[in-house]
Amino acid sequence: MNIIDAIRNRASTRAFSDRPVSKDTIHQILDTARWAPSGANIQPWQVVVISGDTKRKFGDALVEARSSGQASNPDYKYYAKRILEPYRSRQKACGLALYEALGISRDDKEARTNQWLKNYHGFGAPIELLFFVDSVLEKGSWVDLGMFIQNVMLAARGHGLETCPQASMAEFPDIARDILQLPDSLSLVCGVALGFPAAEDPINQYRTEREPVESFTSWFE
């Protein structure tokens, strides 16, 4: 797969097969991704790979926290408190496409909730990658981490794997730090579900739109 196809055809996968992913394959993906750029080459990324019992324990704890009404306490704000246009319309279109693909109506709150809870088990992926950054670092390092995560997702495609980046995995960072015995000084940024896709599942059939170049680019000569 060439790099253009890898980028253009990447999509967030929300249903995975139970086919295992080897530790060696994950190592190769990370070995490729580590060549991402970073300011002054400080390479701020920290990755925790969870699978098996640890992944189940983490997912169960997140489901329990969400289902019991526990207030989330992320290490940072992912979304603005008030999302204005044109961003709001794009956000609504994304959610509508997802639930339409599953045949879930707007009024079916139970089905929507159950679908959301699948986030916390990585949509059935055998592997979840958790990405951390040292809390003493500034926004520039978060930008660097974003480029590293994109490298991970593209490198995964080179091994026949797909991914889903998940901000939901960072809603209760204290749970992650407790289970994984990590210091409070590491901020949890997101998770990425990793595995072989369940290609025929309806949720993997829909695609979101992208704005044309003209809508976000200005030219000065």
What one-letter code names the amino acid at 80?
A
Residues 56 and 182: their CA atoms lie apart, in Å, by 18
Q: Which residues of the chain carry a pLDDT beneath 70?
A: none
Residues 137/172, Cβ–Cβ less than 8 Å: no
Residues 83 and 25: their CA atoms lie apart, in Å, by 39
Mapping DSSP to helix (H, G, I), strand (E, B) and coil, where does residue 207 land? Answer: coil
Residues 133 and 142: their CA atoms lie apart, in Å, by 7
Q: Provide the pLDDT for residue 130.
A: 98
Q: Provide the pLDDT for residue 176.
A: 98
What one-letter code names the amino acid at 56?
R
Backbone angles phi, psi at 164, to 5 degrees: -140, 110
Segment 122-156, tens digit of pLDDT: 999 999 999 999 999 999 999 999 999 999 999 99
Long-range contacts of 28-35 (CB under 8 A, 24+ apart): 28/155, 28/159, 29/152, 29/155, 29/156, 29/159, 29/161, 29/194, 30/152, 30/155, 32/151, 32/155, 32/158, 33/148, 33/149, 33/151, 33/152, 33/155, 34/148, 34/151, 35/151
- Domains belonging to the chain, first-starting first, are 3-208 (3.40.109.10)
Residues 59 and 36: their CA atoms lie apart, in Å, by 29
Burial 68-90 (b: 16+ CB within 10 A, else e): eeeeeebbeeeeeeeeeeeeeee
54: number of Cβ within 10 Å: 14
Q: Provide the pLDDT for residue 106.
A: 85
Output the six-digit token pair for 156.
């995964």
Q: Provide the pLDDT for residue 194.
A: 98
128: number of Cβ within 10 Å: 25
Q: How many residues does the chain have?
A: 221
Residues 5 and 86: their CA atoms lie apart, in Å, by 28
Q: Provide the pLDDT for residue 1.
A: 87
Segment 92-116, tens digit of pLDDT: 999 999 998 889 988 899 989 999 9
CA triple 115-55-179, angle to 5 deg: 115
Does the pTM exceed 0.85? yes
Residues 64/120, Cβ–Cβ less than 8 Å: no
